[in-house]
Structure 1
Amino acid sequence: MQTAFDEAERQAWAGQADAYAASFAKLCAYPVPGLLDAAGVREGVRVLDVGTGTGTAAAVACERGAKVTAVDAEPGMVARAALAAPEADVRLAALPCLPFADDEFDAVVGSFVLNHVGRPREALGELRRVTRPGGRIAATIWAVPPASGQALLGRAVQAAGVTRPAHLPALAPEDDFLRTEQGFAALLGEAGLTDVVCDTLTWAHQTTVEEWWSGPAAGVATIGQVVTSQAPGVIAEIKNHFESLCAEFAGPGGVLVLPHAALMAHGQA
């Protein structure tokens, strides 16, 4: 069953595949090799990449010789993923209802997809359902509180006096969980996974001021929905604050160096 949060996510990401690819996709690609390692993805393994986005994890899994199936809820993402991973079976599908049989996969990976579902526990239960006994599930989410680079855009919005619009529902309190190592590990445990491990991943994402602004300016992700729902004058004010704050992260040659942190949890079905 889709929640109000799920519906808002579908609307927010509709038609955003190209803008995401040009802005935030490279950031989200960083944890992919470790995510596949944690799920035991190697030659011959039947792997499902849920919320594949532009297909980064699916493509790397194919390079490893795995038998890859990938799904995403946004048609534009499916089209891009099919190009990125032509050897994969790429389909349109959304959590929490996947079109697969019980125990169909040896491994399941979800790169930041749990940040975008209204009922994370139900979603993990579905990932557990399609994973064979003894198979592995690995997933990443963003850590809370965010690292300094991840907080940059939010600080610019806050500096402009903008709050989250009412039409963007937050996750219901009863569906939320602690975005800490302990909280994320507990969530996987509740889904019936054993030998659960959760680690914090940190890295410095290198981008440019223009590239990093292009995502929210196009309405990508929640931050983009917040920005683009404002009047033009307010958007200009947010951008001015953003450009000023970027000075804290300036690297050589005009590079923007943004510290990020994510949580990666994995366990056995």
Structure 2
Amino acid sequence: MEPVPVRCPACRREHAYRPPSYPCPCGAPTAPPVLPGAPVVRVTRRARGDDRVTVRCEACGRRDQWPRPELCCPCGTVLRVPVRPAPAPGRDAAPEDPARPVTPAHIPLPRTAPAPRPAFRSTAIRDAGDALATAARYLGWLGYHDVARPARPSATRIDLRATGVMAQVDTVSRPTALRDVECLWLNALSAQVTGVLFSLSGYAPDAAARADELGVPLFTMDAAGTPRPVNGPAEELLSTGA
């Protein structure tokens, strides 16, 4: 699918947006059909079930619920991109099977037990540089290779990158906010990698709840320099490794 222009109503920045595609159970890639030229919507609050949209697979006609296309602008505004409604089942669509469960956007695949890792060697964290270095070593310890900081400061606040992962390291004195979780998830989704968050001050309750819904691993770090998982996705990542 070709990218469509999306303009942020807050800062007027224009983005070339391509919605992420997901594998239908039939194996065909499926992407929500965005509406070129339709005005985007600023996301200021969310309702339950508001982040899903019905998408019809063009290959088999199956209709499933997938994440609604969203874009996190570098200015911090979360934008919802309008999509074309899925056609109702008819002659040109395969009938839906009510007994067939809705397929989630992510299905964890069975994995063999990872090789035992040596204990992580922690070092004291005295400043933001120490926190970044600790997070980088921890990602390497989990199995991600060539962890590095971007050559230039990232407008999307991505502090670390490696093959298959991007991470944000929050060193401010307040709990990490909901917007940080959502922006990291959107950027990781667009890049088709895992997004991981590290925080020195913990997470706001709504941010932690949203991370659970989106499957974003959350870790906290203390002055002793040991990252600790604080939600299910982080526990899973710690257990399986990269």
Under a length normalisation based on structure 2, what TM-score does the superposition of the two structures give? 0.28
Give the number of the structure with larger relative contact order, counting CA–CA contacts within 8 Å between residues 6 or more apart: 1
Higher helix fraction (1 or 2) = 1
